[in-house]
Amino acid sequence: MKNVIEVKHLTKSYKNNKAVDDLSFNVQEGEILGLLGPNGSGKSTTMNCILSLLNFQDGKIKIFGKEMAPDAYDIKSKIGVVFQDVAVFDELTVYGNIDYFCGLYIDDKKMRERYVDDALKLVGLEDNKSQYPKQLSGGLLRRLNIACGIAHKPSLIFLDEPTVAVDPQSRNNILEGIKKLRDDGATIVYTTHYMEEVEILCDRVIILDHGKIIASGTNDELKALAKIEEKVTVEVADLAPNQLSGFEKIKNVSEVEYDNGVLKISYSKGKNNLIDMIEYLKTNKINYKKIFAERPTLNDVFLELTGKDLRD
Amino acid sequence: MFWHSYKYSLKALLKNRMMVFWTVAFPFILALFFNMAFARLHDFDVFEPFDIAVVNDEEYKKDEIFDTAFKTLGEGDERLFNIELSDMEHAEELLNDGKIDGYVYAKGDKKEIKIKENGTNQTVLKMAVEQVSQSAKMIDDIALSEIAKNAGQMVDISAIYQNAVKIVSETEPNIKDESHVMNMVSVEFFSLIAMACMQGAMLSCEMMNRCMPNITNRGKRVAVAPTRKGVIVSSNLLAGYTLLFISLIALIFFTRYILGVEYGDNIPLICLLAALGSLTATMLGMFLSVILKTRESAKNVIVVLVTMVGSLFAGMFGGMKLFFDELLPFVNKISPVGLITDGYYSLYYYEDLTRFWINAGTLVLISAILFVLSIKSLRRQRYDSI
């Protein structure tokens, strides 16, 4: 597959603080690449450097095979950006906002009309097109923000935390919209600190911490980095110390935690440990209320690699 | 692309209540207040000469040309002022007792005035002294060059000076008839127009902020678009300028034809100076927006402060122009508000337009300098932080 973005040894510092530290990665045509990391890990800075908004000390950035620069208008014309903060005119209607930003890319008025209508449809704002941003809920405003960034049908889209502080309905709408953009052929760079979104959306993930890549690969490749393969959680009211130590002796159990009536058992191997656990509880006459199994998440991977939680 | 951006910038601006209030509504509201406050003054359209003193000491008497010319302004039915000749001590006493509005004295080759308060009479006195000094110097220069030309020959010095007076009186600007000098209402409205022009700084600062990725999110979005920065900036500034210029023309016509303010017979030049003044203000706002490395709100406060201080120096708030002319003479020579008000005064007081064109030219020059400096800074394409 063709590389749409090539980043080589990108380094960006603010005084003595390295926000992006010798970062190198590629984004392939048609994929959704997730840049995952906690706040301050350098996701937005990396994006702004790629977009030539920020100066950087070292590195090379190529987009569509050409070096990216502030005046690389041919490259810019194929890029759509949805910034983390809502960037619209309060004084223009929903339609006016989309038309204005689309007009910075598309001269042809008729084509623009069609594109604006398509964008309205994609984000589900057809019924709100005459409203002003102040009349929209937070979720609808985020959708407008997205529509303004992608109305011109770019082939490369940057989405910087587009679902922050969004209601579940709008979040679903946004995620569906992003999938549709990918299905229509766009390459997408998606920065977020919501691991669930990355798992749902992204073909490939780069995990950042302190401006460095600490892991990259597909969801499965990354999860393989975690030392656990499955987690079983059991709600148990009372547990004697000898009963607790008994869990540690079960095959493939790597870790046991018991806190406030919740027992968490991590397995280093195996994918169907739930049935064995139910059997164990029955045999040892341990009463439980709820029991469920989970596969490791990217948060577990992050925890494994950095010793801290993604949302810390 | 330019007109697309211009259309939407203007549309957004027209719906920005705050901006429309300060640039359009506020000057009209002030005009109405001024009209109410000065309504009674219309009853005093007949000019009343005011009292001044001239310190008639040896130093003053040395400059005969000035003395003769200046004293003529205090003679006849159409005199500007009632002159009392006195010594320095007595003149000071008269001023302190409020019996005169000011006095004139010689300091070396120069003529100075001393005033206690700021007002129209003091402005008239200052302009009269400036005008007569200028004319006297020209007469002297012409006469001396004529004498030099005829060196070694017998010359009629009196005839040479008479001829020089004739030349100067035909070519030099003259203070117009007294009714113009008298019109304090016009002076206040000129200051109002100048202040309204300066709202352009606030407007252009706001328009610039929209284009700058390190200030607003909209600026970031604009910066990643394949549109040249110059197109975006110029279309935004033109949108702001359009609103300002139309509101200024409306203000001039409203005050002239609805409120009946006397602006003289040169309305096109009054409009031209408003256009140049608002251009300078627009460039000033652009420049401040570009060079100030601070938040959007802080920038707006600084721009408002700069324009308000400029307005204060130029006499917008209670006739402080003279005070600042004395204290910081350089400031009003380069302050846009000072240049606009001075341009209007000169248009109103003098038949000759030289001073008006100097003010207009200075405004254009300042605009050009601010534009070049802003563009230099704006050409930086990437930011250290956003």
Asked whether residue A260 is assigned to any structural domain, the reply reads: yes
| The domain boundary residue, chosen from A202, A223, A244 | A223
Between A and B, how many residue pairs show a Cβ–Cβ distance under 8 A? Answer: 89
| Same domain membership, residue A126 and residue A61 | yes
Q: Looking at the complex, does the CB of residue B163 fall below 8 Å from at least one CB of chain A?
A: no
Quote the pLDDT of residue B182: 45
Asked whether residue A303 is assigned to any structural domain, the reply reads: no
Indicate whether A250 pLDDT > 70. yes
Measured in angstroms, the CA of B20 and the nearest CA of chain A are apart by 12
| Same domain membership, residue A234 and residue A173 | no
Asked whether residue A310 is assigned to any structural domain, the reply reads: no
Asked whether residue A309 is assigned to any structural domain, the reply reads: no
CA angle B323, B324, B329 (to 5 degrees): 125
- The CATH number of the domain where A40 resides is what? 3.40.50.300
Residues 202-231 of A with CB under 8 A from B: none
| Same domain membership, residue A109 and residue A52 | yes
- CATH T-level topology, domain B47-170: D-Maltodextrin-Binding Protein; domain 2 (3.40.190)
| The domain boundary residue, chosen from A194, A223, A252 | A223
Q: Looking at the complex, does the CB of residue A111 fall below 8 Å from at least one CB of chain B?
A: no
| Same domain membership, residue A239 and residue A149 | no
- Label residue B51 exposed, middle or buried (CB < 10 Å: 0-12, 13-18, 19+): middle
| Same domain membership, residue A244 and residue A146 | no
Q: Which residue in A53, A89, A100 is closest to B224 by CB distance?
A: A53
Residues 227-246 of B with CB under 8 A from A: 227-228, 232
Asked whether residue A138 is assigned to any structural domain, the reply reads: yes
Token code pair at residue A186: 């766009």
| Same domain membership, residue A53 and residue A15 | yes
pLDDT tens for residues A40-75? 889 999 999 999 999 999 999 999 999 999 889 999
Between CA B6 and CA B37 the distance in angstroms is 39
- Name all contacts of B365-372 with Cβ < 8 Å and 24+ positions apart: B366/B280, B366/B283, B366/B334, B366/B336, B366/B339, B367/B276, B367/B279, B367/B280, B367/B282, B367/B283, B370/B280, B370/B283, B370/B284, B370/B286, B370/B287, B371/B283, B371/B286, B371/B287
Q: Which residue in B216, B218, B223 is closest to A53 by CB distance?
A: B223
| Same domain membership, residue A205 and residue A257 | no
Quote the pLDDT of residue B178: 47
pLDDT tens for residues A74-118? 999 999 999 989 999 999 999 999 999 999 999 999 999 999 999
Residues of A in contact with B216 (CB under 8 A): 87
Angular region, A205: left φ>0, alpha ψ -120 to 50, beta rest: beta
Asked whether residue A312 is assigned to any structural domain, the reply reads: no
Quote the pLDDT of residue B181: 47
Residues of A in contact with B227 (CB under 8 A): 73, 104
Q: Which residue in B1, B12, B386 is closest to A48 by CB distance?
A: B386
Quote the pLDDT of residue B229: 87
| Same domain membership, residue A260 and residue A171 | no
| Same domain membership, residue A246 and residue A211 | no
Measured in angstroms, the CA of B33 and the nearest CA of chain A are apart by 30
**Residue for token pair 């300042």:** B366
CA angle B140, B142, B144 (to 5 degrees): 65
Domain residue extents for chain B:
2-42+182-378, 47-170
| Same domain membership, residue A257 and residue A195 | no
Quote the pLDDT of residue B274: 94
pLDDT lower than 50: segments of chain B: 44, 172, 176, 178-182
Q: Looking at the complex, does the CB of residue B1 fall below 8 Å from at least one CB of chain A?
A: yes
| Containing structural domain, residue A133 | 3-223
- Of the two residues A10 and B122, the one the predictor is more confident about is A10
Residues of A in contact with B16 (CB under 8 A): 91
- Of the two residues A192 and A113, the one the predictor is more confident about is A113
Indicate whether A284 pLDDT > 90. no
Measured in angstroms, the CA of B242 and the nearest CA of chain A are apart by 18
Q: Give the contacts of B228 (CB within 8 A, at least 6 positions apart).
A: A71, A73
Q: Do B226 and A96 touch (CB under 8 A)?
A: no
Q: Looking at the complex, does the CB of residue A53 fall below 8 Å from at least one CB of chain B?
A: yes
Quote the pLDDT of residue B322: 60
Q: Which residue from A minimizes the CA distance to B381? A: A70
Q: Going edge to edge, which strands form the sheet with A212-217?
A: A79-82, A156-160, A187-192, A32-36, A204-209, A212-217
pLDDT tens for residues A148-172? 999 999 999 999 988 887 888 888 8
| Same domain membership, residue A252 and residue A161 | no
Between CA B40 and CA B89 the distance in angstroms is 37
Domain count, chain A: 2
For testing the chain B interface, which of A71, A92, A104 should be mutated: the one with the most B CBs within 10 Å? A104
| The domain boundary residue, chosen from A223, A243, A259 | A223
Asked whether residue A91 is assigned to any structural domain, the reply reads: yes
Q: Do A92 and B8 touch (CB under 8 A)?
A: yes
- The CATH number of the domain where A271 resides is what? 3.30.70
Token code pair at residue A116: 């604006």
Q: Do B218 and A76 touch (CB under 8 A)?
A: no
pTM, two decimal places: 0.75
Between CA A221 and CA A199 the distance in angstroms is 12
Residues 68-87 of A with CB under 8 A from B: 69-71, 73-74, 76-77, 79, 81, 83, 85-87
Asked whether residue A111 is assigned to any structural domain, the reply reads: yes
Q: Which residue in B220, B224, B382 is closest to A79 by CB distance?
A: B224
Q: Which residue from B minimizes the CA distance to A82? A: B221
Quote the pLDDT of residue B175: 52
CA distances from A40 to A157, A160, A306, A310, B282 (A): 22, 13, 14, 11, 38
Q: Looking at the complex, does the CB of residue B384 fall below 8 Å from at least one CB of chain A?
A: yes
Q: Looking at the complex, does the CB of residue B162 fall below 8 Å from at least one CB of chain A?
A: no
